Structure 1
Amino acid sequence: MKYKYATLAAPGREMPTTDALTLMHVPEKFDVTKWPREVEAFLHKTTNPHHKAMLKNYLRHLLLEVAGYWDQIIVPELTVDEPMYRVGDRRQMHVLTGKVAVEGFYREAAETRQNVMGARTMNMGVDDYGVTTEAVWTHVVPGVCLKDHGIDADPAAHYLMTHHLFQIFTYTNEPKPKLIAERIYDDPESYTYEKLAPADVVTPEIARELLAPFLARATLD
């Protein structure tokens, strides 16, 4: 299956830009290691100490989430005691306030085996308030979890669910910043679903193994 994402940069109409969502260089296959490699590269070229510290927190947080270590995210070294999340989900906005609610969000994703995800292409920015990303984002989702998505999903199969989203991660202003909030806004008109062959499914176990080297070096120091 070839992805037919809308792009302004068509052959004969090239644009001098680095905007990822104009260029839309989206690989045909999902690679769970693509986005951490890109975050590492962005971190490497960042020189502001506070910005680097936030990016280190961001990277470790996301790696823990996708690798399924849900109980290691809302911890004192990474996150404030009572974080607040606003999570867009198609045409609904879920507001989660406090450790119990936010940790429950991660736990549910891991227990339903929906924690494998990542950017296919993205813009990333960092400023004193936090980290932003705009991405074509993909989740590996068991078909049984897509009952309310309006598609005839095979409950025994897995799907790549892809959509556009914008994320804002905000942090405290201290030597080792802590996550305060996530605000995630998605484009409900952008959702696509691709049924995967069994050999192409990145399971939570495979993701954890592939991300282990990234997580080992994703320290806050």
Structure 2
Amino acid sequence: MSRFDVTKTNIAVEQLIEQTVNPRHRYLLHAYNRHRNLEIAGRWEEIFAPDMMVDKPVYNFNTFGRMVKLEGADAIKSVYSEWAETGQCIFYVEDEKIAVGDNLICTDFVLYQQTPGAALAADGVDVDPQATYLMKNRQYMNWPYDDEGRLIGEDVWEVDESTREYIQLDPSEVLTCAQAAPLLEPLIKPLPARPF
């Protein structure tokens, strides 16, 4: 049995929601919480709802030795779709520190992202291509939001490449979207009414 639990991934977000009194900040935290739960559940299409994301988002990734810029909803949808199909949308977070402002959420955490060994081997990582792994590293993210509380994009950095690890999972520990979705369903709440 794995020590990881997708229902605990957003625990730091949920704790900050409880402590936050500024209505705009609470709204952004609810949107962030919903986005991550939808992503892990494989329900990525809902992330692109007009009340959650701008029409032309931009994602920047500088992680696991790759620098990638995704511009526009179609490019980003393609990645989310691939991650859902391959189980890479399943991730766990530990030691998360999170801050929220009027138009930005910043977070620093240890990430464990489920990844097929074949995908890692194709990138030159010395792993069993038949196995599934958790890619572990420390990441820092900025999520800017517009004045309507919609996500503008994601900026994701690997803080320290020396923390990177590849942890082989036992087949019993591999989680599918079909398994994650019912676990996360009680946590996926509609966005509250905009307080601004």
Q: TM-score, normalised by structure 2?
A: 0.90
8 Å CA contact 1:34, 1:120 repeated in 2:
no
Q: Does the Cα contact within 8 Å between 1:59 and 1:218 map onto a contact in 2?
A: no
* Pair 1:185 & 2:157 matched: yes
Range that drifts further, 39-48 or 87-96: 87-96
SS at match of 2:77: helix
Spell out, residue by residue over 1:9-43, the C-alpha distance to the aligned partner (whole angstroms, 9 max, x if none): xxxxxxxxxxxxxxxxxxx8222122223311211
CA deviation profile, 1:70-105 (whole Å, cap 9, x unmatched): 211122110011011111132321111111112112
Does 1:48 pair with 2:17?
Answer: no
**Match for residue 16 of structure 1?**
none
Greater RCO (CA < 8 Å, at least 6 residues apart): 2
Structure 1 counterpart of 2:10: 36
2:64 alignment counterpart: 90
Instruction: Give the secondary structure class of the aligned counterpart of 2:99.
Output: strand
Equivalent residue in structure 1 for 2:115, among 120, 134, 141? 141
Q: Does residue 187 of structure 2 align to residue 208 of structure 1?
A: no
Higher deviation after alignment, 178-187 or 34-43: 34-43
Counterpart in 2 of 1:111?
Answer: 85
Larger radius of gyration: 1
CA–CA distance in structure 1, aligned partners of residues 60 and 125 of structure 2: 26
Q: Which amino acid aligns with 1:77?
A: D
1:163-200 superposed Cα distances (whole Å, 9 cap, x missing partner): 010011011123xx100121001133321011111222
Letter in 2 for 1:73: I
Amino acid at match of 1:204: C
Structure 2: distance between partners of 1:200 and 1:91: 26
Q: Residue 84 of structure 1: SS of its match in structure 2?
A: strand
2:43: which partner in 1?
69
Percent identity, please.
35
Is this contact kept in 1: 2:54–2:151, CA < 8 A?
A: yes
Over aligned residue pairs, what C-alpha RMSD do you find? 1.7
Structure 2 stretches of 5 or more lacking a match? none
Q: Which residue of 1 aligns with 2:171?
A: 198
The change in CA–CA distance for 1:136 and 1:172 in structure 2 (over 3 A counts) is same
Give 1:45's aligned amino acid. Answer: Q
User: Number of residues paired by the alignment?
Assistant: 191
Amino acid in the other structure paired with 1:168: N
Letter in 2 for 1:191: R
- What is the identity, as a one-letter code, of the residue corresponding to 2:110? V
Which residue is 1:3 aligned to? none
User: Contact between 1:36 and 1:214, CA under 8 Å: does it hold in 2?
Assistant: no
- What amino acid maps onto 2:14 in structure 1? E
Residue-by-residue CA offset, 1:129-164 (whole Å, 9 max, x unaligned): 211110000111121221144433222221111101
Q: What amino acid sits opposite 1:151 in the alignment?
A: V
* C-alpha distance in structure 2 between counterparts of 1:220 and 1:188, whole Å: 38
